[in-house]
């Protein structure tokens, strides 16, 4: 279900209707939601958002050294971020593209931004990478995961517990930071201006959803009494 052909295959096989999968991971949330689910078989979408400039900077440095990746780019080592930002790229406004259902080859515009915002507002439990612990607390509530169970508690501690100073963060890629307002930041933000707007909207939804998510736990407590 990561890409469109897999989603189409899952639909033909009746994956959602079979109730054999508790979680579905995909890079095509709009397409997956449209193809896999129906009024009798609904789901909840949970998504973790990262500042678009931070994501691109991480990608720039990661693919310079990631020899194991199919998209390894050793030639980027000889480029500055500003030079890299000027290259043609299908990765521009990645979040708007994915949430509006556009393909990489298709341009995106303000209308797609509106569609992406509505998709977030109506369908997504929003998480932020800068608020990982709180985000996964909400995801657990939305999925009705009991974090007091031993296996679940160990999982939470492994990812969010106290770590040794040199142990690092899972799936992290250490690289120089780009400061907001710098030439590098401005170059990437200009090319991904729709994603910048969408990310600001996601931050707003993150704040607005807290009360809604917390009401789930209050309601659950009342039902248990």
Q: What is the pLDDT of residues 152-176, one digit of tens each?
A: 778 877 776 655 434 445 556 788 9
What's the confidence (pLDDT) of residue 168? 44
d(CA 194, CA 97): 9
Task: Specify the DSSP class assigned to residue 26.
Answer: -
What's the confidence (pLDDT) of residue 220? 59
User: Residue ranges of the chain with pLDDT lower than 50?
Assistant: 164-168
Domain ranges of the chain: 1-43, 48-224
Task: Specify the DSSP class assigned to residue 114.
Answer: H
Q: What is the DSSP string of 130-150?
A: GGHHHHHHHHHHHTT--TTSH
H or E element in which residue 124 lies:
strand 124-128
What's the confidence (pLDDT) of residue 2? 84
Token pair 């303000």: residue = 110
What's the confidence (pLDDT) of residue 218? 57
What's the confidence (pLDDT) of residue 166? 41
CA 192 to chain centre: 16
Per-residue b or e along 175-196, where b marks 16 or more CB atoms closer than 10 Å to that residue's CB = eeebeeeeebbebbbebbebbb
Residue 66 tokens read as: 């990631």
What's the confidence (pLDDT) of residue 170? 52
What's the confidence (pLDDT) of residue 156? 74
């Amino acid at each position: 279900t990561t890409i469109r052909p897999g989603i189409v295959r899952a639909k033909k096989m009746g994956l959602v209707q079979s109730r054999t999968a508790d979680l579905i991971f995909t890079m095509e949330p709009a397409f997956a939601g449209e193809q896999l689910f129906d009024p009798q078989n609904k789901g909840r979408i949970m998504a973790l958002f990262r500042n678009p400039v931070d994501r691109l900077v991480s990608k720039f440095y990661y693919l310079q050294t990631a020899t194991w990746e199919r998209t390894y780019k050793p030639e980027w080592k000889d480029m500055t971020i500003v030079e890299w930002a000027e290259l043609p790229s299908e990765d521009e406004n990645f979040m708007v593209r994915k949430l509006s259902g556009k393909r990489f080859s298709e341009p995106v515009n303000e209308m797609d931004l509106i569609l992406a915002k509505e998709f977030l507002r109506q369908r997504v439990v929003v998480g932020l990478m800068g608020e990982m612990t709180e985000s996964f607390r909400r995801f657990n509530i939305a999925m009705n995961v009991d974090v007091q169970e031993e296996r679940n508690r160990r999982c939470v501690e492994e990812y969010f517990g106290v770590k040794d100073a040199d142990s690092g963060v899972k799936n992290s890629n250490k690289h120089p930071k780009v400061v907001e307002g710098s030439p590098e930041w401005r170059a990437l933000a200009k090319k991904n201006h729709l994603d910048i707007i969408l990310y600001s909207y996601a931050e707003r939804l993150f704040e607005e959803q807290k009360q809604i998510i917390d009401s789930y736990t209050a309601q659950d407590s009342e039902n248990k009494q």
